[in-house]
Amino acid sequence: MSVSENPLVAQSTQLNTLQKFELTGKTAIVTGGARGLGFEMTRAFCEAGCTSVGIFDILSEWGDSAVKELHSSFPNVSASFYQLDVRDEKAVISAVDGVVRDYGGVDILLTSAGVADNIAAEDYPADRFRRVMDINLNGTFFVAQAIANIQIQNKRPCSMVFIGSMSGNIVNYPQPQCAYNASKAAVIHLAKSLACEWAPHNIRVNTISPGYMNTAITDKFDPNLKKTWYERTPMGRMGHVTDLNGAAVWLLSPASNFVTGTDVLVDGGYCAL
């Protein structure tokens, strides 16, 4: 297909630069979108013009609260919560079908559901190792696959962003987290593989790899450990919960129409050392 024949290119050329960063009228699915970084990026999508959002999360109390907050902040946005475990392939397919039924289709996907352990490799229980891989890697694939099957069948474009980690690029010492590191490296390469396979269907797949982020979870870490993180990060700080929003909106918007299979590091320079 020539550049002029691609409908995404034709649409994009009619927009000015700032308009290309908008998500006007789009329907988004966000896994792990009920709290933390996932919820902050969901808010950013609404700010950028999304009109429909499907939040996939395992915790009903967080999901219900997130939907209420979105409705309060964005009265014109229709948001729904779908309680599920991303490891459950059938539940994922059912939820994706529900979003398509409720909103007429899917335009963008953000996968931010993930877990981590700090366990020495020689002591790592097999079931805990499998859990990290199942949620972080398999769960990401199940959601992406379910959406891609619908997009391909309906000849509808889609942009996907998986949340990787700088831990998928380097080993961030000193905490022991071999399963998490391996899972995030796999997520990054999964995105590259899917980007190549699905490019003919106008499905773009990219990853964002955050550095150390200042969240409710990291607030509980040992201050001495966090001091080490500051010292190893050239910008001398942890990321704010909103620091991923710009990259996520860019990768999911027409502004990045020629970007696929790319990993964007948002790590304060950590991986540059």
What are the tens digits of pLDDT across the range 68-102? 999 999 999 999 999 999 999 999 999 999 999 99
Look up the CATH architecture of domain 16-264.
3-Layer(aba) Sandwich (3.40)
Task: Quote the pLDDT of residue 225.
Answer: 87
pTM of the model as a whole: 0.94
What is the radius of gyration, based on Cα positions, of the chain? 18
**Domain assignments of the chain as residue spans, ordered by start:** 16-264
Positions marked catalytic:
165, 180, 184
Task: Quote the pLDDT of residue 174.
Answer: 86
Task: Quote the pLDDT of residue 218.
Answer: 79
Residue stretches of the chain with pLDDT short of 70: 1-5, 7-11
Question: What is the CA 257 to chain-centroid distance, rounded?
Answer: 17
